[in-house]
Amino acid sequence: MGLFNKITGKFWDDVKQAREGHKSKFCVRLGARFALEQGNSVDPDWKIESVQAFLDQDGIVILPEGDTPSHQLGWMDQGLVKAYWLPWQRREVKVILLSEMSDPNVDFFITSEFSGCRFVVTDKYIGHVAYSAGPRFLSRPTNILNRRGSSVERTLAEEELLQMYRLSTPEWHRSISYGDLSTAHAPGFGSSDTKMLSYLKKGSMKGDRMIVFGYRDPASCIGWNFKYLTFNYMKKEKPIWHIIPLPNTVPSVRFQAGEDTSKGGFWGCFKDTFRKRK
């Protein structure tokens, strides 16, 4: 498998070092139970998982320990990495508090793929807000435009979360949503520093997706940095890396903005490598 490692490099290094606008060499997806809805009201919101990145005929697949792709071509890394895993559950907000991410042996974070849900990171918690999430106790809006599945409903569900955990107003709040970033009901809950981003491409109608990764970084104001890959599963486009801008943080990165290191896409990498070996 040494040849494949030379071709692909190391995925987890790219998570840490990719700059804003960097195009991934391969398609990236979550597999096995990482691709499924998980959890219930009894299960904890998050857990620590041993994770590995594989290379198969469709690109990079992120799998939990014990699973392998059916058409494996190689490994993206040798061995396993430890990651905080935050799954999704319909009609719920899954959350991990920053105070819970203190295990020195865990250097990464992953959460379920986004196809309508909202990702949130603050100085107090990280959340995966399901598209269908809504408040259980707070009064629901009566406007028909604010029915279940609306941005307002998701914001109210997140507000309930703050009350449930008895959290004070976040000093800052970052959210990445599928919507058009209407500020009429912007989340933040009184934060003085809020930023709203969208993984919906301009002019796109459907098929846009996002995967979020986090990694431990001493240069970050919270000890962690977060990046996300955007892609459209209906198109054969290379995923693009984006950085979630945290306050007073300059992430450790390597690639130049917009740099394409793919060398012609998935099979282009193989062609270039074989050409050099001749």
Within a 13 Å sphere around the CA of 186, how many CA atoms are in the beta-carbon half? 17
* 186 confidence band (pLDDT: 50, 70, 90): low
Tens of pLDDT, residues 82-106: 999 999 988 889 999 999 999 999 9
Residue environment code for 130-169, b if the CB has 16+ CB neighbours within 10 A, otherwise e: bbbbbbeeeeebeeeebeeebbbbbbbbbebbbeeeeeee
* 265 confidence band (pLDDT: 50, 70, 90): very low
The reported pLDDT for the residue numbered 20 is 94
Tens of pLDDT, residues 43-53: 678 999 999 88
The reported pLDDT for the residue numbered 161 is 85
Q: How would you write 209-262 as a 3-class SS string?
A: EEEEEEEECCCCCCCEEEEEEEEECCCCCCCEEEECCCCCCCCCCCCCCCCECC
Closest by CA position to 231, among listed 28, 6, 11, 20:
28
C-alpha of 2 from chain center = 29
Closest by CA position to 221, among listed 170, 151, 256:
170
Residues 126-151: what's their mean pLDDT? 72
Largest CA distance in the chain: 69
For residues 204 and 225, is the Cβ–Cβ distance under 8 A? no
| Tokens 């707070």 sit on residue | 138
User: What CA–CA distance (Å, rounded) separates 69 from 60?
Assistant: 10
DSSP 18: P
The per-residue pLDDT of the chain, averaged, comes to 78
Total domains in the chain come to 1
* 128 confidence band (pLDDT: 50, 70, 90): very high
- Tokens for 232? 């459209």
Q: Which residue has the higher pLDDT, 118 or 69?
A: 118
The reported pLDDT for the residue numbered 224 is 96
pLDDT at 250 over 90: no
Domain that holds residue 54: 2-277
Tens of pLDDT, residues 139-185: 665 554 455 567 888 888 888 888 888 998 899 999 998 875 555 55
The reported pLDDT for the residue numbered 82 is 95
The reported pLDDT for the residue numbered 155 is 85
Range of weakest confidence among 1-15, 152-166, 247-261? 247-261
**DSSP 3-state assignment of 39?**
coil
Range of weakest confidence among 25-39, 69-83, 135-149, 243-257? 135-149
DSSP states of 90-119: TT-EEEEEGGG---TT--EEEE--BSS-EE
In one letter, which amino acid is 95? Answer: V
DSSP states of 174-220: EEEESS---GGG---TT-SEEEEEE-SPTT--S-EEEEEEEEE-TTS
pLDDT at 235 over 60: yes
pLDDT at 254 over 50: no
Q: What percent of the chain has pLDDT over 90?
A: 38
For residues 58 and 84, is the Cβ–Cβ distance under 8 A? no
* 209 confidence band (pLDDT: 50, 70, 90): very high
Range of weakest confidence among 199-208, 238-247, 258-267, 269-278? 269-278
Dihedral sign, CA of 143, 145, 148, 150?
negative
User: What CA–CA distance (Å, rounded) separates 200 from 210?
Assistant: 9
The reported pLDDT for the residue numbered 97 is 95
Range of weakest confidence among 24-38, 41-55, 138-152, 185-199? 138-152
pLDDT at 187 over 80: no
- Tokens for 55? 């290379």
pLDDT at 251 over 60: no
